[in-house]
Amino acid sequence: MIPKNKQKLPLINMLDESNNYSNLDSKFFILIIALITLITGIFFILQINDNHQREILDINSEINSTENSLLKKQEQLNDLNTSIADIELEIKSINEKILITGQELDQLVAGQLDRSKTYHSILSGNNENLKILKILENSKKEIQIMGEAKNIENLGEFQKQLNTNLSIENLRWNNTENGLLFTAQITEN
């Protein structure tokens, strides 16, 4: 016989027998719940992964868009640098032209000052004994003059009073009633 503490009541015995079946059912139930939980977890993980992949694609798209924008800006900057270099070359060319023009102007002004001195020197020979009637410019270095003198000595005085950088060449004269009519070429040395 079974000791009393080990004996089971008939109801418990019945439960114990059905418990074997229910034990299987409960294990199967737990297995199904675990499987559903696992599938749900995998689904959530896949959903989260899909969301992350979309975010990564969006970020990559933004990065590509930013890179394209930066490339366009770089091209614009390169074009601007090229334009600036072209403008600098033009400015340099203009400055060189201005410098050359300035030098030519300086030479012209200096030449005009020299020419003014030449005319002043020629015209200072005008007096009662010698009159300059006409001054014609042949070139930058030669001036043709025509005048009247009372006598040949007056022509000599005229030649002496000219600036030292001037010389008389091709002096020709004709006698007239009033003295001499002369032409000469004055050359700047």
CATH of the domain at 147: 3.30.1360
The CA-to-CA distance between both ends of the chain, in Å, stands at 161
pLDDT tens per residue across span 101-159:
888 777 766 656 666 666 666 776 667 778 878 887 766 678 888 888 888 888 888 78
Question: Does residue 135 contact residue 145 with C-beta atoms inside 8 Å?
Answer: yes
Q: Which helix or strand (DSSP H or E) is residue 178 part of?
A: none
Which of these three, 70, 89, 123, is where a domain ends?
A: 123
Q: Provide the domain limits for residue 174.
A: 127-188
Domain count, the chain: 2
Together in a domain, 82 and 158: no
Together in a domain, 115 and 158: no
- pTM (two decimals): 0.39
Neighbours of 126 (CB within 10 A): 13
Judged by DSSP in three states, 176 sits in strand
Cα dihedral sign for 15, 21, 25, 30?
Answer: positive
Q: How far is CA 5 from the centre of its chain?
A: 108
pLDDT tens per residue across span 5-54:
555 555 555 555 555 555 667 788 888 899 999 999 999 999 999 999 99
Together in a domain, 50 and 101: yes
Which of these three, 84, 106, 123, is where a domain ends?
A: 123
